Every structure is written in structure tokens, then in C-alpha cells.
Amino acid sequence: MSRIARGGRYSLDAFRHQALGEVGSTNTECLARARQGDPGNLWVTATRQTAGRGRRGRSWASEPGNLYASLLLIDPAPPERLGSLPLAVALAVHGALRSVLPPGAEALEIKWPNDVLIGRKKSCGILLEGEGLAQGRRALVAGIGINIRFRPEDGPYGVTSLQEQGSDISAEELFSHLYREMAEVLVLWDEGRAVAAITERWRSVACGIGEPIRVNLPDRSIDGRFAGIDDRGLLLLDTQHGTMPIAAGDVFFL
């Protein structure tokens, strides 16, 4: 039986989609709807964002031609089971890109925790944001920007686009793949219970396991060897002082 059979919490028909033109940020739109009582499982897409947000307070340049999509989830799992959600979202994006890349495209991999790379260049950005709501509910938004025609510069990383990789897919068509892949991954994720299944799938497409890396933490950088991820999804860094589990940081291959 299909994992996304009708009627489940994350069956294909359990999601709604609102396609917008120009907005500030699709993440902001989702959070506003959550405050107004939206029950969740809502996708918001836009053709252009005027105030797109990236990680660490950066902006996300959002010209027409790329995909800008956010998924609103309400109480997707108890807080202690949310740790693997960023990995699950990256797997959904990875699956969508795998479906649309032509055979000659460069390697499609995930850099910890959730950068999807093509030929080691960043092809998308993922920003998860949460907010407490009335009556103890919690909104979680997974915002996804995928470079189709336009390559926003992103600091020290190399950047690519689907067009550069030989794909002329439209944002609408790419979104239909993302919609399906996300539903499948959320069923597999099982409200955060199936961390082992998510981490196993993540390892199979991981970029750079065994290689020397630098991890930038808020207060310092640490060099070591990327030993993989543990069963909670934490990065394991082999250093001369032993193996360090790391929950958040920016990874650079050396």
C-alpha cells in the first residue's frame, strides 16, 4: 500500500496550496495565517518575494523564476521529537530535485544539516521557523527556496541553478514534485518517531562523510573530520580531543 494513501494526516489530499504573486515572504504569510487560526498543512508559494528571509538573519534574494514555497504545520510533533525535521525537509527537497535533474547533472547531495547541493554548489535554501500560538498550539514553517533560473549569491558557498544544470523546469512543475515528496517524507518521519529511518536515508545522500571540514559555531570554528551524523541527527566531528556531537553550525569542506 502507498505510504501516502488517502485519509492520513499527511496524505496527498490532506494539504492545501495557495499560490500568490508578489509577497514579502512566504514564511511570513504562513505565520500570519497560523495566527489567524489556520489548521496547518498549508503550502504558500509566491512568484517573487520582496523580503525573503535566509538563515542567521540574512536576506534571501527572490527574483521571479525561482521557487519560493513554505509549508505551515501545526503541532507536527512534540518539541522533543522535532530535531530530525530539518533533515526530513532536506530529504523532500532532495527527492524533488532528483526527479527533475537531467541524467548528466552533477552529484546531488545534502550538506549537513539541510543544504541541498548539486556538484557541491548550493541549489536551495531551507529556513525552518516556529512560533507559539494561542491555546498552547505551535506553528512550524518550512520555507524552501530553490534556484531554477536565478542564482542568488550566498556568501562563501558556490551557488548553482537548475537551469545551469540543464533543466528548464517551471516553478509550478517543480512545486508539484516537492508537494509529493514532502508528503511522502512526512509520513516516513511519523511525527518525529522515525528518526532512525530519516537519519539512515539522510546518510545515503550525505555530502563529504569522512572528509576534513570546518564547523563555524556562533563563538568559534572547529576543524576536524566529518564522521557522519548520530541517531538524533547531530553532526559528529572527529577532533584530536575525541568525537564531538554538534547540534548547530555552518559546515565548510576544507
Q: Which of 31, 126, 195, 234 binds ligand BTN (CB under 6 A)?
A: 126
Sign of CA dihedral 32, 37, 41, 47: negative
Closest CB 19 distance from ligand BTN, rounded Å: 13
How far are the Cα atoms of 33, 59, 188, 254 from residue 66, in angstroms, in the given order? 23, 15, 28, 30
The 3-class SS string of 191-242 reads CCCCHHHHHHHHHHCECCCCCEEEEECCCCEEEEEEEEECCCCCEEEEECCE
Q: Which 207-226 residues touch ligand BTN, going by CB under 6 A?
A: none
From the centroid of its chain, how far is CA 61? 17
Residue type at position 45:
T
CA distance 122 to 6: 35
Nearer to ligand BTN, 67 or 213 (CB): 67
| Interface of this chain with ligand BTN, residues 76 to 115, rule: CB under 6 A | none
What strand order describes the sheet that includes 242-246?
Answer: 242-246, 235-239, 221-229, 212-216, 250-253
Told to check if 3 binds ligand BTN by CB under 6 A, we report no
- Residue from 58, 193, 203, 232 touching ligand BTN (CB under 6 A): that is 58
Site track for ligand BTN across 131-150, x = CB under 6 A: ------------xxx-----
- Of 76, 86, 113, 125, the one binding ligand BTN (CB under 6 A) is 125
70 binds ligand BTN (CB under 6 A): yes
Interaction pattern, residues 26-55, with ligand BTN; x per rule: CB under 6 A: xx---------------------x--xxxx
Contacting positions for ligand BTN (CB under 6 A): 25-27, 49, 52-55, 58, 60, 68, 70, 125-127, 143-145
